[in-house]
Amino acid sequence: MRSRAAVLAAAMALGVLGAPSPAWALPPDTWLVAFASNRGDAGELPLLYAERDAQQLAEVLQAHGGVSPRRTIVLGAARVEEVRDTLHEVNARIREAGGGRPTALVVFYSGHADAEALHLGGTRLRVEELESVVRGSAATVRLLVIDACRSGAITRVKGVQPAPEFEMKLQGEVTAEGLAIVTSSAAGESSQESDQLRGSFFTHHLVNALRGAGDQDQDHRVTLAEVYAYTYAQTLRSSGRTAALQHPTYSYDVKGKGELVMSQPSAAQGRGGWLRLAEPTTYVITEGREGGPVAAEVAPPRAATLLALPEGAYFVQERLPSEYREYEVRVASGREVALASLPHRAVRYDQLVRRRGGEKAHLHGLMLLAGGRGAALEGETVPFNLLAGYTLDLPWLSVSARLRAATASSRGLEELLPGRHEELGAGVLVQPFAVDFPIASVGLGLMAEAVLHRQTFAGVRDAPDRLSLGASFGGLLSVERHLYRGVALRVEASPLTLFFRKAAPPEQGGSVLATPFTWWAAGGLVWRL
């Protein structure tokens, strides 16, 4: 089991989720002990980011939660005796401070574990002992956060063998204000770390919630309820891309009511600034340039969310329903920059599919076109055509299935046999070649169609209706201009050869194969889903 919300538990310890209630900040006398070990027992796959996660959590609580660096202890490559001595020393200082002032103790662990103990570089700390030390602290609020996982192929999971998740039940009377326990996954689940995020799913989203991504009501204060709601949803989403889902959990037993403010991103300390995000969608923020290390992957609940970031240059990718928008951003210390005010480059998903980039291997779409085609018969008007289609964009080509209906009138011989020519066609268009320009995309392809022809007559002479099967073939040039979201304006044209049987001259009788060479042109909309 993996628990990553040292801050998360804090708010829970002082309040309940639900109706509006008083807000409380972490007390000035808050102690944070964050310990971690990338190494577990012999034979366990070493982790890469457990110690980094502990450091990041400490940094965000200092910068945005008001925790003093003098009361922050981070132990990397920790061993049992070092952790045990540190916790006893911190508890002694909390008892000595006394004086009736509110105090808090936050204990965070990241690393390997099983159902009985934490694995610290070949040594073991029993879960029961750790819980007892935290529970017995004289701190007003006591928070225990445990992060322990196992290993998989795509993501790295803490631990080497499946084991029951350790259950920590609060028993008996809870002294002072209470104790809270937060975990990053439910019983029986693995908690995972990601090479792309350079950390665990849970801690990554927790840290960004504290930076402002979780500020649901946009009051520039992130409460535990907001942190937990955001982190739960984003951890579940991220783990949904892997073989196993991960559901963060918490348990708490506290007295009193109110919500603890875990961070105030707008009042960040140190060399940092703020990025005002745009729409409530997913943003991938990398350090320095495109393809750089991922600094944050966030999905704010509302538009114009304020996100606190360290000073520096960033590349931001905004993932909208139909396109990426890419920005180059400079965050200056003490300054706010609005993403919507910056120039951007838009890259549509259909273009990414053709370039074999991005996460999507294909893209579906619908099209509706209206157009005309050269007359098939002498004396016939240009037929009006209505075409509906389904498109599938693949990395190497685009394929469309198309249904077409057309109607045209004819005067007949010496205008004695006027009639109507109706067509129903079903065809396919294959476009293996497309070039994306800044203003439009140009494609070349081949289309083929099977056609049912029907002629009806309404002149002074009686004539039976005629039915005939035919076909058409041609090369096609298309131009598409993106309009909004997934909607694009499409214009296409083609030289076309028709094949159908028509009545032979009276002196010959019967029918003959007609192969007129003509044209096709249409325009309308394409909506890629």
Domain parsing of the chain, residue ranges:
6-266, 270-343, 363-528
Beta carbons of 212 and 225 less than 8 angstroms apart? no
Q: Does residue 321 sit in helix, strand or coil?
A: coil
Tell the CATH superfamily of the 270-343 domain. Answer: Immunoglobulins (2.60.40.10)
Lowest mean pLDDT among 84-98, 379-393, 401-415, 485-499: 401-415
CA–CA separation, 24 vs 11, rounded Å?
A: 8
- The long-range contacts involving 428-433, CB below 8 angstroms and separated by at least 24 positions, are 428/399, 428/400, 428/401, 428/402, 429/389, 429/399, 429/400, 429/402, 429/476, 430/397, 430/398, 430/399, 431/397, 431/398, 431/399, 431/400, 431/476, 431/478, 432/396, 432/397
The pLDDT, as a whole number, for residue 33 is 96
| CATH code of the domain made up of 363-528 | 2.40.160.20
The pLDDT, as a whole number, for residue 459 is 60
The pLDDT, as a whole number, for residue 169 is 34
Specify the higher pLDDT residue, 256 or 213. 213
138-187 pLDDT, tens digit per residue, is: 988 887 877 775 422 223 444 433 333 333 333 333 333 677 776 665 55
Provide the percentage of residues in the chain whose pLDDT is more than 90: 38
CA–CA separation, 83 vs 76, rounded Å?
A: 10
| pLDDT average, residue stretch 383-387 | 95
Length of the chain: 529
CA–CA separation, 84 vs 457, rounded Å?
A: 98
State residue 336 phi and psi, 5-degree precision.
Answer: -110, 135
Q: Half-sphere exposure of 209 toward its Cβ, with a 13 Å CA cutoff? A: 30
Specify the higher pLDDT residue, 337 or 117. 337
467-512 pLDDT, tens digit per residue, is: 889 999 999 999 999 888 788 999 999 999 999 888 776 666 677 8
Q: Which residue, among 168, 192, 79, 44, has the nearest Cα to 115 in the 3D structure?
A: 168
Q: What is the dihedral of CA 504, 510, 515, 519, to 10 degrees?
A: 70
**Is a pLDDT exceeding 90 seen at residue 413?**
no
**Is a pLDDT exceeding 70 seen at residue 136?**
yes
The pLDDT, as a whole number, for residue 397 is 86
Lowest mean pLDDT among 29-33, 252-256, 314-318, 391-395: 252-256
CA–CA separation, 421 vs 513, rounded Å?
A: 17
Q: Which residues pair with 328 in a beta bridge?
A: 315
CA–CA separation, 75 vs 54, rounded Å?
A: 8
Beta carbons of 501 and 470 less than 8 angstroms apart? yes
396 sits in the region (left: phi over 0; alpha: psi -120 to 50; else beta) called alpha
From residue 216, give the alpha-carbon distance in Å to each of 58, 194, 280, 336, 338.
Answer: 23, 26, 11, 19, 18
The structure tokens listed for 125 are 């700390």
Helix axes 224-239, 6-14, angle to 10 degrees: 140
Provide the percentage of residues in the chain whose pLDDT is more than 70: 77
Lowest mean pLDDT among 11-15, 43-47, 60-64: 11-15
Whole-prediction pTM value?
Answer: 0.65
**Is a pLDDT exceeding 60 seen at residue 17?**
no
460 sits in the region (left: phi over 0; alpha: psi -120 to 50; else beta) called alpha
Mean pLDDT estimate for the chain: 80
The structure tokens listed for 20 are 């509006």
Paired sense of beta strands 156-157 and 178-183, if any: unpaired
| CATH code of the domain made up of 6-266 | 3.40.50.1460
Q: What are the E-state strand segments in 249-362? A: 249-254, 259-263, 272-276, 282-287, 294-298, 306-310, 312-319, 323-331, 336-338, 345-348
Paired sense of beta strands 323-331 and 345-348, if any: antiparallel
The model's confidence at residue 229, banded by pLDDT at 50, 70 and 90, is confident
In Å, how far from its chain's centre is CA 377? 54
The pLDDT, as a whole number, for residue 164 is 37
The structure tokens listed for 8 are 């998360």
The pLDDT, as a whole number, for residue 237 is 76
The pLDDT, as a whole number, for residue 256 is 47
CA–CA separation, 206 vs 229, rounded Å?
A: 10
Q: Does residue 117 sit in helix, strand or coil?
A: strand
The pLDDT, as a whole number, for residue 485 is 76
426-444 pLDDT, tens digit per residue, is: 999 999 888 888 788 899 9
Lowest mean pLDDT among 293-302, 304-313, 327-336, 358-367: 358-367
Q: Half-sphere exposure of 459 toward its Cβ, with a 13 Å CA cutoff? A: 20
| pLDDT average, residue stretch 217-240 | 80
